[in-house]
Amino acid sequence: MPRIIRPQDPESALSDHDECNARIFGSPKDRLDFYRREIQYETSILANRTDAYLTAQSFLVIAFVSGMGNLNPEWSKLFTLVVPLFLALLGVLSSLNAWPGIRAAYDIIDHWHFKQSELLRSEPMMGLAYDESPLFSEMESTHKGYRKSLLFSVRTPWLFMVFWIVLGAFSFYIQVDNPGA
């Protein structure tokens, strides 16, 4: 049976951990730079995913409106009943597919912000590295600060999913009930 070999005293384990970190990063500033690069990289991934998602949704909205505006008397009723419902379903499915990628990027950004805040908490002189004012304000290093800036990306798939459900139900209702006919 395999065994995990551990040092006898926790103090030597901590010194081994600090030595390993020193070999990997060199200094707390190197570690902070690494965390900031990771946050920037993941934020750009999140922005790209959100942009691609919003672009796809805008094309779906245009196709939906075009489908609802069909005036061909021979197949207008059936077309405006079926096509907008399929487009609304496609909008819901694309929202469900976009959500895991957007949420994963958010979780990774959350992880790196946590690591950064722990570093800044454990190394109070990091903020005073360049001048007398702190490098990072409390708003930048708390969970509440950066999470507010990411809410748009995280909420967008859910908002569009509700939008497509309401729009699909409305298009079905006006075609079946059709008070004007």
50 within some domain: yes
33 within some domain: yes
Which range is least confidently modeled, 48-62, 69-83, 109-123?
A: 69-83
User: Is residue 130 over pLDDT 50?
Assistant: no
92 within some domain: yes
Task: Tell me what pLDDT residue 15 has.
Answer: 52
Domain that residue 109 falls in: 27-177
114 within some domain: yes
User: Is residue 141 over pLDDT 60?
Assistant: no
Global confidence as pTM = 0.73
**Counted domains in the chain:** 1
Task: Tell me what pLDDT residue 19 has.
Answer: 59
Q: State the chain's mean pLDDT as an integer.
A: 80
Residue, of 1 and 122, whose pLDDT is higher: 122
53 within some domain: yes
Give one DSSP letter per residue of the chain, joined into a string. -------SSHHHHHHHHHHHHHHHHSSHHHHHHHHHHHHHHHHHHHHHHHHHHHHHHHHHHHHHHHHHT---TTTHHHHHHHHHHHHHHHHHHHHHHHHHHHHHHHHHHHHHHHHHHHHHHH-GGGGGSSSSS-SS-HHHHSHHHHHHHHHHHHHHHHHHHHHHHHHHHHHHHHHHH-TT-
User: Is residue 95 over pLDDT 70?
Assistant: yes
User: Is residue 41 over pLDDT 80?
Assistant: yes
